[in-house]
Structures are given as C-alpha cells and as structure tokens.
C-alpha cells in the first residue's frame, strides 16, 4: 500500500463521522430546529454502541444500539423544545452536558476494555483495482452508510414531496401549518433522524475510528459538525466536501510534521478550524445565495393556535 493510499484511507475514517452527523443535523435545521446537542447525542451513540457490541459480541448490534440510543436521546430534546417549547439553544447545550455526563456513567465499567471492531467489507475483484479499489470497495459499513445517507438526504429534500413539506416547515412554519402540514410531527421526525445520525456517527467513533470507550472520546467533533452545516450552507453535497476537507487537513498536518515541514505544530493543529472560517468567509461573500438556503424559521419555536 502506498503512502498516498494510506493517507486517503485515514482521511476517510476521520471524515466519516463528521459527514454522517452533519447530514443528520442538516435535516434537523432544514425543518427549522436548531439542535446544539450533537456532541451529547454523538457521545451517547458512542457509549451505547460500545456497550451493545460488548454484550452481544457483534459490532453490527453495536451499530444499531448506537443509532437507537442517539434517536431516543434526541427525543428528549424534541419533547422539551417542541412540546414544552423551551429555548432550543439552551436545551441543546443542556443535552450536550447531560450526554457527556450520562455516557461517562454508563461507560464506567467499560474503560480500557478492548473493543469489538467493525471490520471492512471487502468486495471481491473490485477491491483489487489499484487506488480506487481499497478506497471505495474495502471500507466498513459506516462509510457506505454515509454515502447512502448523502444520496438519500439529497433525494429526500429536493426530489420528494415529504422533503418539500419538511423544507416548507423550516422556511415558514406558520404557512406550512395553514396548509395543513403537521409542523410538530414533522419536526419530531426530523429531530429523531438527526439523533439517529449523531448516534451512528458516535458508533463509528467507538467501533471503527478507535475501537474503545473512553469518556469524552467525541472530543468536540459534535461542535465541528454544527460548524460544518453552516459551512455547507445547508446543502448536503457541501457537508460531504466540508467533512472531507476537515478530515484531510487533520491527517495531512500529522504527515507534514512527520516529513519535517518546518511549520509550528500549533498552527497545523489550528488549520482545520482556520480553513473552515476561510471557506465560511468566501461563501458568505454572496449574501443572497446564503440567505436562500438558510431556513427562515431556524431556531424559532412554533406554538399552534388552538
């Protein structure tokens, strides 16, 4: 395996959780809900997936446990913000704090226990193609799911009737309600989808990225995801591009250090964040284009008149 190929493979591993959680949060925000609890849902997914995989011995059961845990945990957010109409920003932050604490408690007995790793699925013959083979046909299930999610979310939002309704809810919940769309139900489903994606991303962390459980192992990746959605100006394809850009800069800075490029390591560590800001600035040059994509009801509570 060449260094180039090896680099590509590690970039994919580093980027996949960002892409998955990013696509989930994109759907949530497109429905007009701002859930800042991605970090909390992700870490819940990570611990649930790890525990699930340990108890069953199967990483696939772990994967499902992670997805379900993320979705259930997001339901708490949904109940608070949609039914009880609490402030979305504060509730999202609280969800993260709760998730970090709760996951630590659940996972207490699982620290330093060797994990069950989700192995790569190898497509015979196809995986033998130089370069493209190992990158596209020798990956673990989460990578294929991230691509399926990209296609699915793009199709759903822009080609399906239900997706159109969801976008309508996000752009003007009042009008959508007047048209007879069930705003609250739509948002509940969107929030749960986002939670399931964050849970899957967390499962990738504890089953693929580093098959182990340690407290706080998401290490801020949930926050990066939130930035990624804004960075992508709520377009699925750009979530993919942004996620890979971020992953690539993270990996490449280590290689730069290894090859002895004389740049301060602190600067290299900052690069992924700095590049996010630079691209954000470039994108926001075109103010109208940005506004078109921003869901107009984002973060606003909806209380139907009775």
The Cα-based distances of 29 to 1, 20, 93, 167, 233 in angstroms read 41, 15, 16, 9, 11
Size of the site for another protein (CB under 8 A): 45
Q: CB of residue 222 vs another protein: minimum separation in angstroms?
A: 9
Q: CB of residue 112 vs another protein: minimum separation in angstroms?
A: 4
Q: CB of residue 281 vs another protein: minimum separation in angstroms?
A: 20
Contact string 19-48 vs another protein (x = CB under 8 A): -----------------x--x---------
Q: Is 86 in the site for another protein (CB under 8 A)?
A: no
Which CB, 6 or 179, lies closer to another protein?
6
Q: Is 260 in the site for another protein (CB under 8 A)?
A: yes
The Cα-based distances of 69 to 76, 164, 196 in angstroms read 11, 28, 7
Q: Is 65 in the site for another protein (CB under 8 A)?
A: no
How does DSSP classify residue 126? G
Contact string 128-167 vs another protein (x = CB under 8 A): ----------------------------------------
DSSP string, 230-296: HHTTT-HHHHHHHHHHHHHHHHHHHHHHHTT--S-HHHHHHHHHHHHHHHHHHHTTSHHHHHHHS-T
- CA dist 179 and 214 (Å) reads 48
- CA dist 165 and 181 (Å) reads 7
- CA dist 39 and 220 (Å) reads 7
Residues that bind another protein (CB under 8 A): 3, 6-7, 10, 14, 36, 39, 93, 96-97, 100-101, 104, 108, 111-114, 117, 205, 209-212, 214-217, 219-221, 223, 250-251, 254-255, 257-260, 262, 264-266, 269
């Amino acid at each position: 395996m060449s260094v180039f190929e090896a680099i590509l493979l590690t970039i994919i591993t580093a980027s996949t959780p960002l892409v998955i959680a990013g696509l989930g949060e994109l759907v949530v925000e497109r429905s007009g809900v701002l859930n800042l609890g991605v970090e909390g849902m992700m870490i819940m997914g990570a611990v649930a997936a790890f525990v699930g995989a340990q108890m069953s011995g199967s990483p696939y059961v772990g994967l499902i446990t992670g997805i379900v845990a993320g979705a259930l945990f997001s339901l708490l957010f949904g109940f608070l913000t949609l039914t009880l109409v609490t402030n979305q920003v504060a509730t999202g932050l609280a969800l993260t704090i709760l998730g970090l604490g709760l996951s630590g408690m659940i996972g207490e007995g699982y620290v330093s226990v060797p994990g069950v790793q989700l192995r790569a699925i190898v497509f015979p013959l196809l995986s033998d193609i130089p370069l493209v083979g190992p990158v596209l046909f020798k990956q673990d299930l989460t990578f294929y799911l991230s691509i399926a999610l990209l296609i699915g979310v793009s199709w759903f939002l822009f080609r399906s009737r239900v997706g159109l309704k969801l976008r309508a809810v996000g752009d003007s919940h009042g009008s959508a309600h007047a048209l007879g769309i069930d705003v609250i139900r739509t948002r509940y489903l969107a929030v749960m989808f986002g939670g399931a994606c964050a849970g899957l991303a967390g499962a990738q962390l504890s089953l693929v990225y580093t098959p182990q459980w340690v407290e706080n192992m998401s290490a801020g990746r949930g926050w990066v995801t939130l930035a990624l959605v804004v960075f992508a100006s709520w377009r699925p394809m750009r979530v993919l591009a942004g996620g890979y850009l971020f992953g690539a800069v993270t990996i490449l800075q280590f290689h730069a250090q290894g090859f002895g490029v004389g740049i301060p390591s602190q600067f290299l560590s900052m690069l992924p964040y700095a590049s996010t800001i630079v691209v954000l600035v470039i994108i926001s040059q075109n103010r109208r284009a940005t506004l078109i994509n921003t869901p107009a009801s984002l973060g606003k509570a909806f209380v139907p008149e009775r």
